[in-house]
Amino acid sequence: MPGQQLSRIAGRLQDGTLNVGTSGLNTSMIKSLLKSKVAQFIKVIVSTALILVP
């Protein structure tokens, strides 16, 4: 299920245990960008849920 996968990825990002196969790339920059995008996505989901729930 995609929601569970996203939750696992977000958990690994928080723990610092996410391992992405990137040789020769600036992994700290990629992790930082990915963390911010996941955080934004979670905020959108929570905001949408709060708006839709009466």
pLDDT the model gives residue 47: 92
**SS3 for the chain, per residue?**
CHHHHHHHHHHHHHHCCCCCCCCCCCHHHHHHHHHHHHHHHHHHHHHHHHHHCC
Number of domains in the chain: 1
What whole-number percentage of the chain has pLDDT above 90? 30
Domain that holds residue 11: 2-52
CA distances from 21 to 8, 26, 29, 36, 47 (A): 17, 12, 14, 19, 32
What's the N-to-C CA distance of the chain in angstroms? 26
Give dist(CA 15, CA 29) in Å, integer: 17
Residues of the chain predicted below pLDDT 70: 1, 20-24
pTM across the whole model: 0.48
